[in-house]
Amino acid sequence: MPFLTLDRLDKSFGTNPVLRNLSLEIEKGEVLALLGPSGSGKTTALRLIAGFESPDRGHILVDGEDVTALPPSKRRFGMVFQHYALFPHLTVGENVAFGLTGKDGMDRRVSEALAQVDLPGFEARRVGEISGGQQQRVALARALAPEPRVLLLDEPLSNLDPTLRERTRRELRRAIRKVGITTVLVTHEQEEAFHLGDRVAVLHAGILQQVGSPEELYERPATRFVAGFVGRASAFPGKYEGDGKVRLPSGLIWSGVPAVELGPGDAVELVVRPETLAFAPGGLSGRVAERRYAGPVSYFLVSLEGGLEVEVMAPAGAASEGDAVSVGLGTSGPQPRIFGVGA
């Protein structure tokens, strides 16, 4: 039985629907990342779980208990806010103690919570005096100290500068795993979602697109949106021939895996990862417009005849800018996915 259940949640602001029929099930101790561009409804989903907004329809259950009508102060959920929301008039210790009840062992529990995030002895510091990364950890310690049932993280790393982000992400991951708490985190960064989440739920325009492991999302995207949003991909328009075959305008027939039910003659798009494409004779001809060096491999932006631009991953020396090349399907990399166009 799932520990946290979102059951057909709807939410509109005025006449503007921001979440439609969102259902999710999260196991105890699981970390779920809500991934989506801005305006996708992911933050609203988190605020519904926290109780800062109430859904127009649907239910939220924790451990079998319906908490939909419960105010946030009664839910026993911990939350780390995007800008941390540390109380500026309180010390680090007082911030961490804010959610603790009962006088017994207050000091000990605060120092334990701070030790857990590697900030032992920070009790008397003022929150304005510590660095951004430390503030983030204080916010985490404050959220975890009352031993909440669920931990909610709203873009927990977006406020840090890039050099600090990766290290903090590893620390955050370690801390969450150590506690083993059921966690929902919201992010617009795929890397963050893939690193922190056991599973990732992709939202777009208020609609849940796909839930799955990072591998599933990358290799077997369920919707055209996921295919384009998660990882890099090139799209080739064509006509479906049946049996996983797509006829490109040039007459070539490439094959892939249909992501949806398709019939022969349907207009489709074949979506291909850069590592699945290769420079090979007998493919689509074009010219290298740009090369982006990335260490062991390079990414080549190729302008195909007919105007299409596609991205090919190949060894750094495979081609230079301006070279005439031929692009075909390689033998490695995820299988191309076929999506219907329109209707």
Partner 1 sequence: MKRLPVAGLLLALLLAWLVGYPLLMTLVEALRGPEGWTTAHLREFASRPDEWLALWRSLWISLTSVVLAAGIGVPLAFLFERTDFPGRRFLAAVVALPVALPPLVGVIAFLFLYGESGFASRAVQSLLGLESPPWRLVGPGAILLVHAYSMYVYFYLFTRAGLARLDAALLEAAASLGAGRARTLFRVTLPLLRPALAGAALLTFMTSLASFSAPYLFGGSFRVMTTQIVASKLNGETALSQVETVMLAGLALLGLVGMRWIDRSGLASIAGVGVRGVAPARRRLESTWARITAGTLGWLLAAFLLLPHAVLLLVSFVPPFTWTAEALPPVLALGNWAGLAQAEKLRPVVNSLWMAAVSTIAAVALGLAAARMAVSRPVDGGEPRRPWLASALEWLVAVPWAVPGTVFAIALATTFGVNQPWLGRFVLIGTPVILPLAYLVRSLPLTGRGSIAGLRGLDPALEEAAASLGAGRWRRLSRVVLPLLRPAIAAGAGLAFITALGDFVVSIVLYTFDTRPISIEILSSLRLQDLGMAAVYGVLLMTASAAAFLVWGQGETR
User: Which residues in 48-77 contact partner 1 (CB under 8 A)?
Assistant: 48, 50-54, 71-77
Q: Which is nearer to partner 1, 88 or 263 (CB)?
A: 88
The DSSP output letter for 179 is: H
DSSP string, 265-313: T-EEEEEE-TTTEEEEEEEEEEEEEEEEEETTEEEEEEEETTS-EEEEE
Under 8 Å between Cβ of 86 and 142:
yes
Given phi > 0 = left and psi -120 to 50 = alpha, else beta, which region is 342?
left
Among the candidate windows 115-123, 139-147, 281-289, 299-307, which touches partner 1 by CB under 8 A?
139-147
CB of 98 to partner 1, least distance (A): 5
Selected range binding partner 1 among 87-95, 120-128, 164-172, 294-302, rule: CB under 8 A: 87-95
Pick 100 or 252: Cβ nearer partner 1: 100
Q: Which of 98, 189, 195, 326 binds partner 1 (CB under 8 A)?
A: 98
Nearer to partner 1, 33 or 138 (CB): 138
Which C-beta is closer to partner 1: that of 137 or that of 337?
A: 137
Give least dist CB 143 to partner 1, A.
7
Q: How far apart are the first and last CA of the chain?
A: 37
The whole-angstrom separation of Cα 60 and Cα 231 is 31
- Report how far residue 275's alpha carbon sits from residue 4's, in angstroms, rounded to the nearest whole number: 37
What's the alpha-carbon Rg for the chain, to the nearest Å?
Answer: 24
Residue 143 lies near partner 1 (rule: CB under 8 A): yes
Q: Which stretch binds partner 1 (CB under 8 A): 83-91, 127-135, 188-196, 319-327?
A: 83-91
Tell me the three-class secondary structure of 77-140, residue by residue: EEEEECCECCCCCCEHHHHHHCCCCCCCCHHHHHHHHHHHCCCCCCCCCEHHHCCHHHHHHHHH
**Per-residue x/- mask for partner 1, residues 19 to 38, rule CB under 8 A?**
--------------------
210: Cβ contacts below 8 Å, ≥ 6 apart:
201, 202, 216, 217, 221, 222, 223, 226
Size of the site for partner 1 (CB under 8 A): 30
Q: How far is the CB of 147 from partner 1 (least distance, A)?
A: 11
Residues 144-173 that bind partner 1 (CB under 8 A): 146, 152
Q: Residue 9 and residue 49: Cα distance in Å, rounded?
A: 10
Q: Quick one: which of 79, 227, 277, 284 contacts partner 1 (CB under 8 A)? A: 79
15, 38, 89, 342: residue in contact with partner 1 (rule CB under 8 A): 89
Which stretches of the chain bind partner 1, using CB under 8 A?
48, 50-54, 71-79, 81-83, 85-89, 98-99, 101, 142-143, 146, 152
